[in-house]
């Protein structure tokens, strides 16, 4: 019988995998890593020599525990004749292990059909975890928004959710009924949704030089549509990985795609770009950055086959392009027009955060010209 140790022995995890587990004699040692346990495939802690008494829980092999261990590739490890389950090779660490996310991911995986090969699910764990984390954020956001739709509860009845396609992204088919505005219920409806998880979008802006950084890269959507120009001016953007915040994702993506560091993030209106068919939610930001002449170039991760080129453009030119219809990327268009409306207000807030500046209206840095709008 295996002994659960570390994150897999957390009460939220035991409730999903082995609710009948009983506490056993502790193990002497220390755990290293584990910040991504139950979230990333190789996120489990390593057992080292130490003087701590580590709690363990004894359990039989429940169907849920066996399936879960198979998906994550977990095998019992012998330690002084005791079979410990929940150990492995630590992955890149998160700031802090998130038990609620790990337990929600476990519940999601266990609801999937048993016919799905465990190896296929293991390969998809990063994207599945991203989607589960997106659902967690959605459940806790926007409580103060104005009420939309018919009053009363419930407003929808979901009969089934199936996943007819799953690779990097996936499709979900949702069968549901909806309460109409007149109070009656619709007959059963079928809705197909493209599932990709939340993403972060950030427009780097240098308020001293009053210039922004754009990128361009080949995009599959315009290519599939037959667009003669499938390379688009865009913002820095990317998925919000499980275990990180949208703000952390914005800073990470800026470094990966352009090599620049953002000193501050100004949140713009977040939104669903195409809510009729996509479950994607976008977190939009203006990122304050230092953008000298040599900051543009080539970027992107080779591991993701990214081929990205960055461009420096005066903010006023970006506004002109947006109004002239030359910007076809929706998030960039939103941020360009929002920044045009809010740049003076943002400057004032940045000035207020820089006490001692010789001229609070200029945001000057030593050796840099004042903000004139030119490159």
| 181-234 confidence digits (pLDDT tens) | 888 999 999 999 999 999 999 999 999 999 999 999 888 889 998 998 899 999
Using pLDDT thresholds of 50, 70 and 90, give the confidence band for residue 15. very high
* Number of structural domains the chain divides into: 3
What is the model's pLDDT at position 182? 85
What is the model's pLDDT at position 355? 58
Q: Tell me which of 67, 87, 105 is where a domain ends.
A: 105
What is the model's pLDDT at position 305? 67
In this predicted model, what pLDDT tens digit does every residue of 352-367 receive, in sequence order?
A: 887 543 343 344 443 3
CA distances from 368 to 210, 211, 349 (A): 12, 13, 20
Residue from 304, 306, 317, 340 carrying the catalytic annotation = 304
Q: For tokens 């296929």, what's the residue?
A: 120
Residue of 101, 351, 49, 367 lying closest to 244 (CA atoms): 101
57's CB contacts (< 8 A; 6+ apart) are 3, 4, 5, 9, 14, 18, 21, 22, 23, 24
Q: Which domain holds residue 160?
A: 152-196
Q: Tell me which of 177, 196, 215 is where a domain ends.
A: 196
Predicted structure pTM score: 0.86
What is the model's pLDDT at position 274? 94
| Domain match, 184 and 229 both | no
| Domain match, 183 and 203 both | no
Residue 303 lies in a domain: yes
| Domain match, 184 and 215 both | no
Strand partners, 211: 206, 314
Instruction: Render the burial of 81-120: b for 16+ CB within 10 Å, e for the rest.
Output: ebebbbbbebbeebeebbeebbbbbbeebbeeeeeeebee
| Domain match, 346 and 318 both | yes
Catalytic-residue membership of 304: yes
In this predicted model, what pLDDT tens digit does every residue of 51-72 receive, in sequence order?
A: 999 999 999 999 999 999 999 9
What is the model's pLDDT at position 150? 64
| Domain match, 334 and 348 both | yes
Are 209 and 199 spatial neighbours (Cβ–Cβ below 8 Å)?
no
Residue 256 lies in a domain: yes
Are 33 and 93 spatial neighbours (Cβ–Cβ below 8 Å)?
yes
Using pLDDT thresholds of 50, 70 and 90, give the confidence band for residue 317. very high
What is the model's pLDDT at position 371? 34
Residue 287 lies in a domain: yes
| Domain match, 280 and 158 both | no
What is the model's pLDDT at position 159? 94
| Domain match, 204 and 329 both | yes
Q: Report whether pLDDT(139) > 70.
A: yes
In this predicted model, what pLDDT tens digit does every residue of 228-258 receive, in sequence order?
A: 889 999 999 999 999 899 999 999 999 999 9
| Domain match, 235 and 256 both | yes
| pLDDT winner (highest mean) among 150-159, 218-227, 264-273 | 264-273
Query: At 91, is the secondary structure helix, strand, or coil?
Result: coil
Residue 257 lies in a domain: yes
Q: Report whether pLDDT(296) > 90.
A: no
| Domain match, 225 and 348 both | yes
| Domain match, 204 and 173 both | no
Residue 370 lies in a domain: no
Residue of 317, 348, 350, 322 lying closest to 336 (CA atoms): 322
- For a pLDDT cut of 70, what percent of the chain falls above it? 91
Are 5 and 14 spatial neighbours (Cβ–Cβ below 8 Å)?
no
Residue 208 lies in a domain: yes
| Domain match, 84 and 168 both | no
d(CA 346, CA 349): 5
| Domain match, 168 and 212 both | no
Residue 320 lies in a domain: yes
Q: Report whether pLDDT(107) > 70.
A: yes
Residue 360 lies in a domain: no
Residue of 182, 185, 175, 193 lying closest to 155 (CA atoms): 185
Q: Tell me which of 173, 196, 219 is where a domain ends.
A: 196
């Amino acid at each position: 019988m295996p002994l659960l140790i570390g994150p897999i022995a957390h009460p939220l995890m035991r409730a999903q995998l082995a609710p009948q587990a009983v506490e056993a004699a502790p193990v002497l040692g220390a755990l290293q890593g584990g910040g991504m346990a139950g979230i990333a495939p190789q996120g489990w802690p390593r057992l080292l020599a130490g003087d701590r008494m580590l709690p363990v829980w004894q359990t039989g092999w429940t169907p849920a525990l066996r399936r879960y261990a198979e998906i994550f590739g977990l095998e019992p490890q012998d330690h002084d004749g005791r079979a410990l389950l929940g150990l492995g090779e630590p992955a890149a660490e998160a700031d802090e292990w998130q038990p609620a996310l790990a337990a929600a991911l476990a519940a999601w995986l266990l609801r999937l059909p048993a016919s799905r090969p465990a190896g296929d699910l293991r390969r998809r764990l990063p994207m599945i975890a991203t989607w589960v984390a997106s659902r967690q954020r959605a459940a806790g956001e926007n409580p103060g928004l104005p009420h939309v739709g018919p009053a009363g509860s419930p407003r929808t009845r979901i009969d089934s959710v199936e996943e007819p396609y799953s690779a990097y992204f996936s499709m979900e088919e949702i069968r549901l009924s909806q309460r109409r505005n007149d109070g009656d219920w619709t007959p059963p409806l079928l809705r197909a949704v493209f599932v990709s998880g939340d993403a972060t979008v950030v427009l780097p802006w240098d308020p001293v030089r009053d210039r922004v950084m754009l990128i361009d890269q080949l995009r599959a959507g315009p290519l599939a549509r037959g667009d003669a120009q499938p390379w688009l001016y865009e913002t820095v953007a990317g998925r919000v990985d499980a275990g990180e915040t949208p703000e952390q994702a914005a800073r990470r993506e800026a470094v990966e795609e352009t090599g620049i560091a953002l000193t501050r993030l100004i949140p713009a209106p977040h939104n669903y770009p195409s809510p009729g068919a996509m479950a994607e939610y976008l977190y939009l930001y203006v990122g304050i950055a230092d953008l000298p002449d040599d900051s543009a170039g080539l970027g992107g991760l080779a591991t993701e086959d990214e081929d990205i080129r960055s461009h420096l453009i005066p903010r006023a030119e970006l506004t002109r392009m947006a109004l002239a219809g030359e910007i076809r990327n929706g998030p960039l268009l939103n941020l360009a027009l929002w920044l045009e409306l809010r740049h003076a207000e943002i400057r004032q807030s940045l000035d207020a955060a820089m006490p001692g500046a010789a001229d609070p209206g200029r945001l000057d840095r030593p050796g840099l010209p004042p903000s004139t709008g030119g490159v």
